[in-house]
Amino acid sequence: MARGEEEVSQNERKLPLGDSPELRAALAEANVPTLLMSYVHLTHDAAMLDAFQNYIRPPYSMPPTEIPGECIEDLRAKLLEALTVPGIAKATPPSDELMRRMMAVGVGEEVADEFVPLLYDQIGLKLPLPRNEIAGRQTPPADFKVLVIGAGLTGLCAGIKLAEAGYDYVTIEKNPEVGGTWYENRYPGVGVDTPSHFYSYSFEISPEWSTYHPHGEDMQNYLLHVADKYELRRNIRFNTMVTKLAFDEAASLWRVTVRKADGSEEVISANAVINAHGPVNRWKFPDIPGLEDFQGPMMHTATWDPSIDLKGKRVAVIGTGASAAQLVPAIADEVGQLTVFMRSRHWVIYNPEIMDDVTDGVKYALRHIPFYREWFRFRVYWFAADGLFANVLVDPNWPKDSPSVSAVNDGVRQYALAHLNHKFADRPDLLAQLTPDYPIFCKRIILDGGWFDALKKDNVALETDRIERFVPNGIRMADGRELEYDVIICATGFDVANMLGKLEVRGRDGRNLRDEWGADDPRSYLGVTLPGYPNYFLTVGPNSAPNHAAGQNLISETQINYIIECLDHLVEKGARTIEPTQGAFEAWNGQIEERMKSMIWAHPKAQSYYRNSKGRVFLSWPYRLVDYWTATRKPELADYRVD
């Protein structure tokens, strides 16, 4: 049977396992619904689903339920037997019908049929057949060259899949190592909002995470492992930056100007370009006068200087977004006095797992219990992704003057408020300062990994008045106060709307993408392609970001799949260029604009980096992840011009 047609897993299926203290500890510590999935997957014992289906519910469901202890012990005993006694585990995979029932019972709610192909793909249970093994697929010509910009999460995925598909490619990376944002961001406390066991490639699921939400170093180590395993560095040119792309119409090639570490330039020719330089590597300082006046160290979180000693110092942190919420708890006990300057309030969600370590028993289960790794990823995906979509969809019948946009959205708002009120019951001053006046999910939510506790420390102050300017010894406020600091840290985010950065892109007929997009108004077709720019592919492009949920890794994978589908069609037809038609581009953007009217990000009080200076939501994908995954299986050829 071909690899893509059979059930595969990244666990090694070595059964039986020996009955050991490590295995018994794993059964005692591992997630019970995931153990249930592993057991049924191995044995096809559907009766065990009947025993559990009335007790497994989604998180925060009311009233809460508890799985009876006798059911749990029965499951552990039967799974132990299936793992250690030969002949109990089935040699064949469960039927699709049983798999769908397992999915529904495993998360305590219906899993619609439309999700099943995505779930098989993203949880690693049915990996697609590698392109170079597809019968009848035309092999790319040896002289067909692809250039990838960036060796971060998306660029590395591009390299893996291009190589798998038989394309000759080169990746241009401005840094001396892979990792992108996880190479660059090294400030204390840096981490990932997305749960560890989902924030990875579906084809390279790791059991080695040390926490349920990865620290920045964990994420970088994962990407280093990927680069090593897939031998990606041999195709990467480090310490090199792409400065200009110019399409040569006569040759149907992109002429790519790169700047080397010594400042010299070189022009590389490529049939296609994949821009994977990402939106979160163009960090920005605050728009406050006097940046050059301050005489002490000033740094951005994205350019952290570990040589600067913070111990006992007077430190100012400007910003209260995700970076500040990670940084402040990490340095609060080290500094002498810390002031956090807040321009806008953020909703904060308490997730009890964010500070938890993954125990040795759970790691054993992930490494050795067949199918546990995949089913655990399924569960994490389900509750961190499209299950949250209802929160960002505006109910047209919901009261317009409400601080929420739907019943579901209001429920999450009440959950966040309860945590806020609990944390600051003894600090009404901070409670008033920190309570947002806009619906939750309007902009990025902060996960509380010690943020609220840090703001209550005796040596930490929250400042909400306006900054007038930087001065040599610190900060002057609009009310005339001058506050003295030894170090100023700017946790002020990135210039996301400027999706080109400093890159110059010229397409057909001398078209200039910067002229078309302006400073902050990028548009595309499906977040990937552009009319007038043949064989030029975006990743994390306009209106493709999963701003309702976790899932950038999923978006990266599905965009790379779509791009290679476009290239394969080009090769199959013996054509030289592919680009969307102007009509398809306009129709898609019109659809997005209309849909955005019903999304929370267009709310009058939604001021976030998802919107540009004119208020247009340029970043967010206004549908579910499953919709984007489905739309990017292959191009709608009627929407494309192929020459």
Q: Which residues contact 512 (CB under 8 A, 6 or more apart)?
A: 504, 505, 506
CATH 3.50.50.60 in the chain, residues? 142-282+496-637, 298-354+405-490
The confidence score (pLDDT) of residue 608 equals: 94
Assigned token pair, 216: 């920045």
In a 3-state reduction of DSSP, which class is residue 102? helix
Closest CA to 486 of 502, 500, 472, 496: 472
Is the Cα dihedral 138, 139, 142, 145 positive or negative?
A: positive
Whole-angstrom CA distances from 200 to 123, 154, 366, 401 are 10, 11, 15, 40
Confidence of residue 11 (pLDDT cuts 50, 70, 90): very low
The CATH number given to 142-282+496-637 is 3.50.50.60
Question: What residue type is 271 in one-letter code?
Answer: N
pLDDT in tens, 313-352: 999 999 999 999 999 999 999 999 999 999 999 999 998 7
Tell me the mean pLDDT in the region 532-558: 95
Task: Please check the confidence at residue 358 and state whether its pLDDT lies above 70.
Answer: yes
Confidence of residue 13 (pLDDT cuts 50, 70, 90): low
355 — pLDDT class (breaks 50, 70, 90):
confident
In angstroms, the CA 499 to CA 522 distance is: 7
> Is residue 437 classed exposed, middle or buried when 0-12, 13-18 and 19+ CB atoms within 10 A define those classes?
exposed
CATH of 298-354+405-490, one of 3.90.1170.50, 3.40.50.300, 3.40.30.10, 3.50.50.60: 3.50.50.60
- Per-residue pLDDT of 56-103, as tens digits, reads 998 877 777 899 999 999 999 999 999 999 999 999 999 999 999 999
Query: pTM here?
Result: 0.96
Task: Kindly report the backbone phi and psi dihedral angles of residue 65, in degrees, each rounded to the nearest multiple of 5, phi listed first.
Answer: -125, 160
What's the pLDDT score for residue 9? 43
Report which secondary-structure segment, H or E, holds 119.
helix 116-122
CA distance 372 to 361: 12
Q: What is the per-residue pLDDT across 240-274, written as a single tens digit (0 to 9) for each? A: 999 999 999 999 999 999 999 999 999 999 999 99
Give me 480's structure tokens: 């005339």
